[in-house]
Amino acid sequence: MLQIKTVKLNDGVEIPVYGFGTFQIPADGSTYKAVRTALELGIRHIDTAVAYFNEQEVGKAIQESGIPREEIFLTSKLWLQDYGYEPAKKGIEASLRKLGLDYIDLYLIHQPYGDVPGAWKAMEEAKGEGKIRSIGVSNMTPKIWNQFIPQFDTLPSVNQVEFNPYYQQKEIREIMAKSDVKLEAWGPLGQGNKNMLNDPVIKEIAETHNKNAGQVILRFEYQEGAIIFPKSTNTERIKSNMDIFDFALTDNEMNKMRNLDTGKGCHNPDAPGVAEFLINAFDVHAND
């Protein structure tokens, strides 16, 4: 079985560089099945969130996998409905309860708006109590980073952002590198971006290595130092996405991929009205 390597976060916690994402996989048995499949194929890093409404199935899949809990790295995320110190404390407990687990390996500020410092304080405390092993942020642009990070007592271990060959996040990566904050890539395949999957540069590199476009994209991100967790509910696609460790892109190929950057993604956290839209998007406690 494939042994996926780990990297050390700035707090000393080891995280597998390749994982499995569960965004938009419904909690109708599909999430449970997909996570069990990923674990059976050798993946040991699972990414979920309160706002994915599938923590329960993720936790059940982990518990029933037969794999020792300490061998699985689990990420979840706090939704902005629970920001502020006291609400975040309750939100963390709700996540642990839904997951049915004693601890979460990585817990993130999902959307960086509102009382982020209060939520961060609660996350720091939960880390101190052993309920969370590592804490991080998500969707932080340079502007948002400079607004909140100076208010934190401890630095995040990761910033999970949209990242793919068409949107390479150069500015925030430079800021993060100074504090050894790792980048986690959401939407590593551009959320099925057909233009990117059919890009002539990517297709040419893929043909050279006898790989498909998706594998070249994921390999590029991996070689750039991103932690990646593509998602699929299709077993063959999950296997195919993992098949990126038996080849490497040359320096020339990496530079060609870097030149594909457009500087724009599908989500702009700095856009006006985003915070208001997200806070009213849904109620994460509707079924509690």
Q: What's the rounded mean pLDDT across residues 9-36?
A: 97
Q: CB of 173 within 8 A of CB of 182?
A: no
DSSP E strand stretches across the chain: 6-8, 14-16, 20-21, 45-47, 73-78, 104-109, 132-138, 158-162, 182-186, 227-228
- Site of tokens 């050798």: 42
Q: Identify the active-site residue in 18, 32, 52, 107.
A: 52
Query: pLDDT tens-digit profile of 149-207?
Result: 999 999 999 999 999 999 999 999 999 999 999 999 999 998 878 999 999 999 999 99
At 236, which helix (H) or strand (E)?
Answer: helix 235-242
pLDDT, tens only, 27-78: 999 999 999 999 999 999 999 999 999 999 999 999 999 999 999 999 999 9
Q: DSSP assignment, residue 186?
A: E
Q: What residues have CB less than 8 Å from 141, skipping those under 6 apart?
A: 172, 269, 270
Domains and CATH numbers, the chain: 6-279 (3.20.20.100)
3-class secondary-structure state, position 184? strand
Residue 52 known to be catalytic: yes
- Asked if pLDDT for residue 1 goes beyond 80, the answer is no
Residue 273 makes CB contacts below 8 A (sequence gap 6+) with: none
Each residue's pLDDT tens digit, 203-244 = 999 999 999 999 999 999 999 999 999 999 999 999 999 999
